[in-house]
Structure 1
């Protein structure tokens, strides 16, 4: 044996009660799980007093070039995450063309001081594989970037030629290993797409065995209608769908959560292939651009800033922004998490209300100033959800856990901004805060939501369970002390209680220290 884990309380990942067992690993796979395995192993880990589970699968992430900047995937590995699924919310740095190639590579240079280069998904995967990464990685193709690659940042519908070009590029990414299509229908340019466009694209995805993941068109006032659109796409394109980070935003809409949960449960009972995920926080994370009306976002950053600086259009934008802030409950609910312009970095960690007060500006004028100064690079956290709804959604048996985050590190080039604490704490927070402390669900159910359930939702083979013949992705943790420590004020803090993380049979985290191993694999659709 290469590796033996002994004396641990083993959670298979299927939601059933744990067992006392030893686990033997050879050549990256589990070969024995038994009460006592009497064979020699090169390395033996004593897991006495600890829980052993499958590695956690982050079913909804946004990591891209960050894995090239720091291949150790620090903030994810230290949460026990062994696999992450990226390319969500309609955003992926592939396929690239003259319309969006510069934007993505400029972002890497601006954020991390490193100039990246690729055009296709296959080229991106090859850069990840050489010399390797610490985590398994799969990705969707972002509809927004697919659209930009073919049509630029326009709001118009594609003509027949444009739609066929989108299908060809989408099919290429699927052939190169994409898991399917994702949309960000609250964001331009994805928000300009009609349902028929999405159905047509999803039929091409379905034909190649892929799936559809959607940041829906609305998560507040029109939440029920947005869920209906996803269901329609599921039915008409005959495709498995994933509803991303299900929520009911803003106080007037909190009551809608019950209706939506009941509707999804009804369809799952009818065997509709619907998956859902959610992060364990009541604040979302996005860009400040979300507080501008949709029409003002057409054409990308250059056009947005032109409209903000034009007196006529600016007043129309102001009316919408003021309404949205009021609907959310006030500017104190908007926390600035990242500003790219060095002269404005001191605003990170401030609320829009506090920033407006200190500058003597209205909340809208403060937002406008930040966006213009920062060339539309401001990211925020928005406190728009209720604790009660968050618990209802998380406890639904068909909801898996996704961080909706990027892999960061509190050192080097990835030590930027004031990120959402979910980036460092999502999975330990489910184990500690929600399962152990609040008793929202038992530990075995918490583990299922982070292992076998997301593996099934994403069609991952031989992952998500501790079974003979499965890939040896494992986490050893202390169920009594596991906890998230990241906060909105001080988010760059690793969790406690995660002892050992094993990826494809290699120890990546040992007694809380990263070993530097890079055994992660690219998870391609169909493999």
Structure 2
């Protein structure tokens, strides 16, 4: 299947089941319509929260094919399906920045769709495969209920080349790891992920990481990291996050502190930690984060409790050390130190598979301490653990920070998961932290689930409800949206998410998963920079010149302006070529900008037919140095136009 420039399949519109195919509502199947309907779907009477951070506003949303075609008063327009969403909020589909490589349930993804999630970014914490082409091909072959896009994992490259022992890499190994990461970026990775708290990547010195990432800055992408907490630092979250920022600053990549939290003894220091992020941004190293609205995380029981030296070489080597009395005594002592410093002691650990507290298991086993109990458990099993770490005040501050996206640290799932975040993150953020606690406004919460994560990873055609954008849309009831999943019942479904459309097709209808598999494998290109979100400032695009693409000359005239509080740009866009009919824009979405770079979406007319478009003007194209501008224009139903205007 042919793919467009933005990594999505180019295909003709297909109906989403019998209802859509019959064209209910505006055009009854019992009588032919006098004229073709204006849209495939109109979401009518709702309140648009568009992902930009602007105030919600009443508007209808018209969807044609795979794209949003119009946003506004569509009272005179017709559609195959006219859906009354009065009292509902209409938002972009939610984008989750932190998923792993578990895709068995991606063909259904019920836990994600019932949260309003339409796109997930894979291979978090440095994991996943090195062959991203194979990963995405396998996912597409199985069918995707949501969109997926990959990161490339530092940890997996480190393990592949340097092994599981605590040894320094040679210069040749550094180059080999660097080549693996660059190959992943070339294959369309949205960024480099790492989990420096996880062994064996834990053994990499900061300078090793910087050397491996050398040259990655040309991709204008990000470095997202599960921060490393070491005994030498007193298990300091702050110092771990500072390392992530330093690596980003040193490599020219955007540092992203993933599933951000302030742990253990440092609870109550959110003001200082978030100030560190803001200071880095003001100093030129824009720093972002993602977080979930819970006060406990989940990982393997050993990962963050058993000392790093005892995990060197893998599971068998660790078990051998447990069997040695002298080493076991040291392991137990250091595990106790980690438990106290990070999770407040044994009472901070819960085993979800067996629904048991570590404190109860200590008594049953006759263990002398929490560390002793952990070692005993690991000698017979390798369970996961719920690890309690934070304070409500710190969490609220983290969620409210302007560069923090909301993410679930979850994967597509069917049936049981260990942590309630897998079924409840996004409705919990909306119901608890917006409606009940007032930590966030509706528009800010939606921005943190849509426009902000899209900008953070570099997306250009998702994250906003605007003409020309892909019609990934979530409709929810602000009065009822809430999570119900708990640590004892982590798969309880949330309520309040009414509808989800992916590329214009119904993925969730009236709260019921439809079974549609309209998700796509999304790849990033070099013309899609990770960037701050700039949708709440006055901005414009101006271009007048010619460029050549595939041996053909084009003339492009653009003059656009967008006020700080306006949902869409105003102005003109004309594209002309001697061999093609003229292309003129009839409406625009939002302008997005970065250094010497801009993009806008919208709708153009070609021979009287309306088609969605996305335009990128890249004056900082790392593949084409010089004073020119790279023009990337994708128009619905046409091959992408990619050309260069030298000196323009």
Q: Which residue of 2 aligns with 1:287?
A: 300
Q: What are the within-5 Å matches in structure 2 for residues 101-500 of structure 1?
A: 120-218=131-229, 221-250=235-264, 252-289=265-302, 290-327=304-341, 328-338=343-353, 348-362=354-368, 363-374=370-381, 377-410=382-415, 415=416, 419-500=418-499
**Cα distance in 2 between the residues matched to 1:285 and 1:474:** 29
**Cα distance in 2 between the residues matched to 1:473 and 1:128:** 19
Residues 354-363 or 490-499, more deviating? 354-363
Deviation at 1:70, TM superposition (A): 4.5
1:51 and 1:478 in contact (8 A); partners too: yes
Check 1:140–1:70 CA distance in 2 against 1; reply closer, same or farther (3 A cut).
closer
Q: Which residue of 2 aligns with 1:28?
A: 66
Q: Give the TM-score normalised by structure 1.
A: 0.88
Deviation at 1:498, TM superposition (A): 0.5
SS at match of 2:104: helix
Gaps (5+ residues) in structure 1?
Answer: 96-119, 339-347
2:136 and 2:521 in contact (8 A); partners too: yes
Instruction: Provide Cα deviations, 1:125-167, integer angstroms capped at 9, x if missing partner.
Output: 0011124201111121121111111222122121011111112
Q: Which residue of 2 aligns with 1:2?
A: 40
2:106 and 2:146 in contact (8 A); partners too: no
Q: What are the within-5 Å matches in structure 2 for residues 499-514 of structure 1?
A: 499-514=498-513
Query: Is the counterpart of residue 55 in structure 1 residue 93 in structure 2?
Result: yes
- Looking at secondary structure, tell me which structure has more helix per residue: 1
1:60 and 1:404 in contact (8 A); partners too: yes
Instruction: Provide Cα deviations, 1:213-270, integer angstroms capped at 9, x if missing partner.
Output: 11111297323322332222222211112111221101x2113322111121122234
Question: Which residue of the other structure, out of 42, 45, 50, is the alignment partner of 2:80?
Answer: 42
Deviation at 1:406, TM superposition (A): 2.3
SS at match of 2:215: helix
Deviation at 1:37, TM superposition (A): 4.8
1:332 and 1:354 in contact (8 A); partners too: no
Deviation at 1:271, TM superposition (A): 4.2
SS at match of 1:2: strand
**Cα distance in 1 between the residues matched to 2:374 and 2:339:** 11
The number of residues matched between the two structures is 482
**Cα distance in 1 between the residues matched to 2:340 and 2:249:** 37
Q: Which residue of 1 aligns with 2:606?
A: none
1:82 and 1:473 in contact (8 A); partners too: yes
SS at match of 2:158: helix
By relative contact order (CA 8 Å, sep 6+), the higher-ranking structure is: 1
Deviation at 1:432, TM superposition (A): 0.2
Deviation at 1:176, TM superposition (A): 1.6
2:477 and 2:496 in contact (8 A); partners too: yes
**Cα distance in 1 between the residues matched to 2:317 and 2:76:** 68
**Cα distance in 2 between the residues matched to 1:461 and 1:453:** 11
Runs of 4+ in 1 over 3 A off after TM superposition: none
**Cα distance in 1 between the residues matched to 2:477 and 2:191:** 36
**Cα distance in 1 between the residues matched to 2:377 and 2:215:** 41
Check 1:525–1:157 CA distance in 2 against 1; reply closer, same or farther (3 A cut).
farther
1:243 and 1:277 in contact (8 A); partners too: yes
Which one has a bigger Cα radius of gyration? 2
**Cα distance in 2 between the residues matched to 1:324 and 1:390:** 21
Deviation at 1:69, TM superposition (A): 4.2
**Cα distance in 1 between the residues matched to 2:510 and 2:170:** 57
- Looking at secondary structure, tell me which structure has more strand per residue: 2
1:54 and 1:474 in contact (8 A); partners too: yes
Gaps (5+ residues) in structure 2?
Answer: 1-38, 529-648
2:92 and 2:463 in contact (8 A); partners too: yes
Q: Name the Cα RMSD after superposition.
A: 1.6
SS at match of 1:165: helix
**Cα distance in 2 between the residues matched to 1:452 and 1:524:** 18
Q: Give the TM-score normalised by structure 2.
A: 0.72
1:23 and 1:37 in contact (8 A); partners too: no
SS at match of 1:495: coil
**Cα distance in 1 between the residues matched to 2:58 and 2:138:** 41
SS at match of 1:373: coil
1:211 and 1:239 in contact (8 A); partners too: yes
1:6 and 1:22 in contact (8 A); partners too: yes
